[in-house]
A and B are shown apart, each in its own frame.
Chain A
Amino acid sequence: MKREIGGGPPVAELENIHLSFGGLQALQDVSVAVKPRERLAIIGPNGAGKSSLFNIISGIYTPSSGTIRHKGGARPARMKPYEVARLGIARTFQNIALFSGMTALDNIMTGRNSLMRRGVLGEALQLPWARRQEIEHRRRAEEIIDFLEIPSVRRTPVGELPYGMQKRVELGRALAAEPELLLLDEPMAGMNLEEKEDMCRFVLDVNEIHGTTLILVEHDMGVVMDISDRVAVFDYGRKIADAPPDDVRRDQAVIDAYLGTAHEH
C-alpha cells in the first residue's frame, strides 16, 4: 500500500506565531505546516514550546500574533477548542487527561460526542433517534476498541487502568472523533518497549489506513526517527530545524541544541 503525502493544502499551517505568558516568550516566530497524511514529529528539550504549539493548534492558547490556517483557509484569531475539534483536529495530552470517573468505553464514546446530535428531551425519552444514535456510535466505538485491542477493559473505569492502557484509551478517545489531524503529545512516554511497539503500530495504522495526518511530540528518538516523515526541532521557543529524520540527525544546530547533549528521559 503506497501512502501519498501531500496533495491539497496543508492540514494545519502556522505562520509567524508568537506566544507569550506575561513576559515569558513561549514561542517566537514559529512557522510550521503539515501536509495531508504526513507524519510530523516535534522534538526539543523540555520547555522548548512543543506543548504550547499543540495548545495553539487546538485552540487552548491564543497566539499573541501570527496566523493559523486550516486546509488553506485562515482560522479566526480566536477559536474555542471545541470549535477546533469540530474542524477534525483531535489530540491527546502529555499527562493523560481521561475522564477518570467513566469507563474506557464511555471515554471513547465521549470522543464521538461532537459527531452526535444533542436533544435533551429526545435523549431523556430515548426517542428512536436517540436510541439509534447511541447504538450506531457504540458500534463505531467498538471498532476502535477492537482496533486498539482493549476489549477486556471495556467496562473498567479508566482510573483503575494501568498507565499504558490509559494511554491507549486516550488515543481511542481521540480516534473516536474521526479526526483528519491527530496531535499526539508524548504518546510513548513512560511506556515499556512492548507497549511502545504496540503504540507505534496503532499510530502507523491510523495514518496509513485512515490517512490521518499526525503531529507528535515525542522524546524517544528511536520512535521519532522510525515513524516520522519529517522532524521539526524546537529550542527555546524557536524552530531550529525542519527536515526529514536523516537530515535532522546530521544538522549541526540540532546536535548542539539537543541531540548532542545528554538528554535524560
Chain B
Amino acid sequence: MAGIPAANTFPRLLRANAEHVGSLPAYREKEFGIWQTWTWSEVSEEVRFLALGLRSLGLERGDRFAIIGDNRPSLYWSFTAGQAIGAIPVPCYQDSVADEIAYVCEHAGVRVAVVEDQEQVDKLIEVRDRLPELQAIVYTDPRGLERYDEVEGLVGVEAVVEIGRGLHGRDPEDYEREVARGRPTDIAAILYTSGTTGRPKGVLLTHTNLIEPARRAVKFDNLTQRDEVLAYLPMAWVGDFVFSIAQCHIAGFCVNCPESPETVLTDLREIGPTYFFAPPRIFENMLTSLMVRMENAALLKRRLFAFFLDVARRVGCDILDGKRVHPLQRLLYAVGNLLIYAPLRDVLGLGRIRVAYTAGEAIGPDVFRFFRSLGINLKQLYGQTEASVYVTIQADAEARADTVGSRFPGVEVRIQDQEVQFRGDGVFQGYYRDEAATAKTMTEDGFVRTGDAGYFDEAGHLRIVDRAKDVGALTDGTLFAPKFIENKLKFHAWIREAVAFGHERDMVCCMINIDLEAVGDWAERRGIAYSGYTDLARQEEVYELVRGAIGDVNADLAEDPALRGSQIRRFLILHKELDADDGELTRTRKVRRTVIGQNYGELVEALYAGRDSCRVAAEVTFEDGRRGTVEADVRIWDVDAAAPMAAAA
C-alpha cells in the first residue's frame, strides 16, 4: 500500500512517517481546553531528544523500563524513545496498587520508570526498597511534585528532553546510530497479562511480532492517515499498544488522548473517532444510559424513537451488510437515519466511525445488533496478548454476534481437543523469566494454546464457547459448555445470573437468578403482587417467563450441531440472589460453579432426580452483616428441547 512505509522497527516507522507525512497530526491531547496537536515531525523530534535523555539516565540497550499512567502523548513517545536506544518498555496498569506495580517492575527488573504524575510517583516511592535496580523516575506532570526534591532520581520529562536536546546538539548522528543498531527481532515490549490465576506473566513481543499483524490489520480495514482514534484503554493492554502505537505508526493516523478518565465520553463526542475499539461492557453501558435518557423524552419523541428503532431492528443490519432490502424499507430507514440514527450516533460520538471492534468477552446479541442497526460498523475479533492481538477477525459483511470471525490473514488457527490454537508471525517469544509457563503454552510445533474452547462453524467462523478447562461433556459425550449457555441466558433481560450443570450428567439443568428490577417492573405492570425477591421468584407467571427465555436459548443451541445435544431440559429459579458476600460470586460477578454446586447440593440433586419441587434452607448474609436462614419451596420445571429450524421446516 502506498504511503505506508515498510520500516521494520518502531523507531524506523516513526522516522519514515516524519519524512513522508511529517506535517500531519500524529498525537493530540485535550489539555488546557483545546486539543493540543503534535505532528509526526514534532513527535519524531520529541522522541529523539527523549531517547537520548533516557539513555543519559543510565538506560542501556536491553534494559527494561516501566511506563505507568493514563494515556498521554509523552508516555506513548517514551515507548518509541526507549525502543530507539534498545531498551524495552514495560507498561503497567495505571490503576494497579503499589504492590502490583512493584511485582511487575521487580520481575522485569526495570531501571527507569516513566510515569504520569504524583499518584504514580507515590506508588513507586512506597515500594522503592523492593526495586534496587530502579535508578530514575521520570514524571510528565509536575503537579504536586515540587515538594519531592529530596526523592533521589526523580526528574521531570522536560529536563530529560533538555538533556537529550543537548546531546543531540553535540552529536546529531547519535540517535540515528542507535536506531540503526535496532533489529526487527529485538524485543519491542514486555506486556504483562493479568491472567485469571496467579501473578501476571510478561509476554515478550518483538518489533516484527507487533508490526506485521498490525500492518495486515491496517490493510484489512483500509486504515489511512485520515483516521482518528481515541486512546482511552489502559496503555499496558496489548490492544492499546497495537491500536495507539503500532497501527498509528503504520497507517500514520492520529491518536487522541482524553483530557482525563472522567471526560472520556465528552472527548469521544468531540473527537469522533473513525476507528474505535471498546470492550462489550462499554457498548452495554452506552445502550443502557441511552435508553434511560430516552425514557425522559416527551411522548411524541419517544414514539418516534421507538418506531424508528423498530425499523432499524428489522432492516438496519441488512442494509449495513449490503443485503437486498425492500426499497420502501430502505426509504424508511433513510428517514430514520436523518431523524434518529445519525443524530444519535453523533451525540454518542460514534458519528464518524468507519470501523469499530469489540472483543474480550461475549457481547450481548441485542447490544451488538443495536449498534449495527444504527449503521455503526461494529465487528468482533478474537485475540490475545500472545498473538499480538489478532487471531480471528470479522470482515465488514461477516459481522455476527455469536462468532468472532474467520482466521486473521497470516495466522493459522486449529482446534485441538476443543481448544483453539494458533500460529503466525505475531506469536510471542515466550514469557519473560518463566520457562515453565512458556513451555506449557507453546506446543512443540509452534502453536500457542489459547485455553479457550471453540470450533469453526460451517461458514468458517470461529465460535468461542468457554474456557477449555470449564468445558465438559454429558454422559453421552455431547459437548457441554456451561459459560456459553449461561452467557446466552444472561443476555435475556429477565435473567441476572445463571448456573448450568451437566458435566458427566445425562442432561443440562440450570439455576436462574431473575433480574429483580426488570422482572419486578414486568410484574407490576401486570398487577402481580410480590413482597420481595424470594416471593417473586416463585410466582408461576415468572417461571413461565423464564421458561420462554430458556426456550429461546434452546432454539439457538439447536441451530448448532456441536451443541444441539446440550439444550437445557430442567430449570429452577433460586430463592435467593447469588451474592459475592456468600462466596457464590467472585467480586467481578463471575459465578463460582463449584461453590454453588456444594451450597445447593439438594437442589442439584432434585433437578436430576426429576422432582418438581424441593424445600430448601439457605444461609444468607443480610445487608447489615447478620447471618440468617431463608426457607422456601423451590419449584422445578421442565423445558422442551428445540429442533433445528432446518429440520422443522
- State the A residues within 8 Å of B (CB): 1, 105, 138-139, 142-143, 145-147, 151-152, 154, 201, 205, 208-209
Contacts and interface: CB of A to CB of B under 8 A. Distances in A.
With a 10 A CB-CB cut-off, give which of B31, B33, B34, B149 has the most chain A CB atoms: B33
B147 interface: yes
Interface stretch (B259-267, B346-354, B552-560): B259-267
A142 B146 contact: no
Interface in B137-153: 143-144, 146-147, 149
Contacts of B34: 142
Nearest to B34: A142
A145 B143 CA distance: 13
Given A142-B32, A146-B31, A146-B32, A151 B259 contact: yes
Given A142-B32, A142-B33, A146-B32, A151 B260 contact: yes
Interface string B22-38: 00000000011110000
Given A201-B144, A209-B146, 14 more contacts: A1-B147, A139-B32, A142-B34, A143-B32, A146-B31, A147-B143, A151-B33, A151-B260, A151-B263, A152-B266, A154-B33, A205-B144, A208-B146, A208-B147
B338 to A, nearest CB: 29
A145 B33 contact: yes
A146 B146 CA distance: 16
Contacts of B263: 151-152
A1 B262 contact: no
Interface residue tally on B, bucketed by range: 10 to 19
Contacts of A105: 33
B406 to A, nearest CB: 43
5 contacts: A1-B147, A105-B33, A145-B33, A151-B33, A201-B144
Contacts of A147: 143
A209 B149 CA distance: 13
Contacts of B32: 139, 142-143, 145-146
Contacts of A205: 144, 146
Contacts of B33: 105, 138, 142, 145, 151, 154
A204 to B, nearest CB: 9
Contacts of B262: 152
A143 B263 CA distance: 17
A128 to B, nearest CB: 20
A209 B146 CA distance: 7
Nearest to B147: A1
A145 B263 CA distance: 15
A149 to B, nearest CB: 9
B232 to A, nearest CB: 16
A154 B33 CA distance: 8
A62 to B, nearest CB: 39
Q: Top 3 closest A-B pairs, CB basis?
A: A142-B32, A142-B33, A1-B147
Interface in B264-284: 266
A145 to B, nearest CB: 7
A33 to B, nearest CB: 27
Contacts of B144: 201, 205
Interface in B514-565: none
Nearest to A154: B33
Nearest to A149: B260
A147 B32 CA distance: 10
Contacts of A139: 32
A176 B358 CA distance: 45
Contacts of B146: 1, 205, 208-209
Contacts of B260: 151
B150 to A, nearest CB: 9
With a 10 A CB-CB cut-off, give which of B32, B146, B147, B263 has the most chain A CB atoms: B32
Contacts of A152: 262-263, 266
Contacts of B149: 1
Interface in B107-161: 143-144, 146-147, 149
Nearest to A147: B143
Contacts of A201: 144
B261 to A, nearest CB: 12
A152 B267 CA distance: 11
Interface in B221-263: 259-260, 262-263
A208 B144 CA distance: 10
A124 B260 CA distance: 36
A207 to B, nearest CB: 11
A32 B31 CA distance: 42
Nearest to B149: A1
A152 B266 CA distance: 9
Contacts of B31: 146
A143 B259 CA distance: 13
Nearest to B143: A147
Interface in B22-62: 31-34
With a 10 A CB-CB cut-off, give which of A139, A147, A151, A154 has the most chain B CB atoms: A151
B152 to A, nearest CB: 16
A154 B266 CA distance: 13
A54 B33 CA distance: 34
A146 B149 CA distance: 23
B148 to A, nearest CB: 8
A145 B30 CA distance: 13
B542 to A, nearest CB: 43
A104 to B, nearest CB: 11
A151 B33 CA distance: 7
A56 B373 CA distance: 67
A193 to B, nearest CB: 19
A154 B143 CA distance: 20
B484 to A, nearest CB: 41
Contacts of B147: 1, 208
Nearest to B30: A151
A201 B143 CA distance: 11
